[in-house]
Amino acid sequence: MNFLRLISGTSALTFAVFASPLAGQEHRGPAFSEDGTVNVSAFDLPPSVLASDESRQAQEMRGRIPVGAMTTGQDPEIGARRATLARMLQPRVDLIQQMYPARVEEAVIAGVPVRIITPAEGEFDPGRVLINLHGGAFNVCWESCSLIESIPIAVMGGYRVISVNYRMAPEHRHPAGVEDAAAVFGSLLEDYDPDSIGVFGCSAGGALTAQLAAYLPTNDMPQMGAAGIFGAGGVRFQSGDSAYIAANIDGSFPGPDVDGQLAQDLTLGYFDGADYADPIISPALHPEVIASFPPTLITTGTRAMDLSPAIVTNSALLAQNVNSTLIVGEAMGHCYQYNPALPESREAYAATVRHFRQNLD
């Protein structure tokens, strides 16, 4: 198996890293300052021998989800930025639709635009439904990410997946996205039991899934039946060790400075004026909030900037006796599931389908 899996009952994840200098490369080791800051020597990181042949050959685990590229050096007008990203990702959408034939219907639920994705052939589960909250840094990627994330799960699992076009920056601010997600969830309660509704998303959508799981009980709404938090966690993005490490070994996103301040706001102001420690934005920091979470599947990668938030969220869930499973893809970057050609991605799809089958009534 090409990824590391932690299942319920495991309370901590410990990595032992054994490094040896490459031929002709001086290795001086890290230097530690009195305040605990580590000065890391330069080194070459080769493709992992534990990753699939496809991932080693393609080397697509850096910069292939171009959120960082779309927020630097690009047309600042948001409409042009979204259109450019849609063109960039269209080949990926085409590949997904070729591999997983699906029907896509545009609709509106509770006043919110949505896409309803079902398998092109065969029936879909009539008693259970999934909500997808797409990625894109809370400001882009509805056009493409909603399909890239939803189609494989709908087809492999035989599910009806409703992807939500929630309000984003720069036009809107938090809590617009979670309010839209809650509105769609509330409307689905007319036809489904809450234990039959699952919610999942990648990147910003993964963070929004965690926010929704915190938001529902806080607003006297029933909890969802199961959650999938992919490429994210229940704490702010670009936080923890992985934000610094991924910035230097993956490069898709800039890292914070030594004081933990973000060099760049990838969300284009979506959280302006909000407290990042708020129980809805960072439920993993609040035991009484995360204790109400449903069974949760979390995926990340060893080279992903979201590795630390994912680990912290998994540990917080387990500490509150919530059923939580953490999958860490070896040598994988942020939201590696966006590349369906990788065996690691297809394994993650299968794990997602199993998760919802096992935990939704």
**194-249 per-position pLDDT tens digit:** 999 999 999 999 999 999 999 999 999 999 999 999 999 999 888 888 988 888 88
Using DSSP's 3-state secondary structure scheme, residue 28 falls into: coil
CATH of the domain at 65: 3.40.50.1820
Count of CB atoms within 10 A of residue 251's CB?
15
Is 57 a member of any domain? yes
CA atoms of 137 and 277, how far apart (whole Å): 18
Q: Which of 120, 144, 124 is nearest to 132 (CA)?
A: 144
Is 24 a member of any domain? no
Angle between helices 241-249 and 307-319 (to 10 degrees): 150
Q: pLDDT confidence of 255, banded at 50, 70, 90?
A: confident
Instruction: Supply the pLDDT for residue 10.
Output: 31
Q: Are 116 and 82 in contact (CB under 8 A)?
A: no
Is 206 a member of any domain? yes
Q: pLDDT confidence of 26, banded at 50, 70, 90?
A: low
Is 271 a member of any domain? yes
Is 29 a member of any domain? no
Q: pLDDT confidence of 93, banded at 50, 70, 90?
A: very high
Instruction: Supply the pLDDT for residue 210.
Output: 98
Is 314 a member of any domain? yes
Instruction: Supply the pLDDT for residue 350.
Output: 98
Mean pLDDT of the chain: 87
Instruction: Supply the pLDDT for residue 180.
Output: 99
Q: At residue 340, does pLDDT exceed 90?
A: yes
Q: At residue 12, does pLDDT exceed 60?
A: no
Q: Are 226 and 354 in contact (CB under 8 A)?
A: no
Q: Between residues 44 and 231, which one has the greater pLDDT?
A: 231
Is 35 a member of any domain? no
Is 30 a member of any domain? no
- Per-residue pLDDT tens over the stretch 153-186: 999 999 999 999 999 999 999 999 999 999 999 9
Domain that holds residue 289: 3-8+47-359
Q: Are 300 and 336 in contact (CB under 8 A)?
A: no
Domain count, the chain: 1
3-class SS letters over 120-157? CCCCCCCCCEEEEECCCCCCCCHHHHHHHHHHHHHHHH
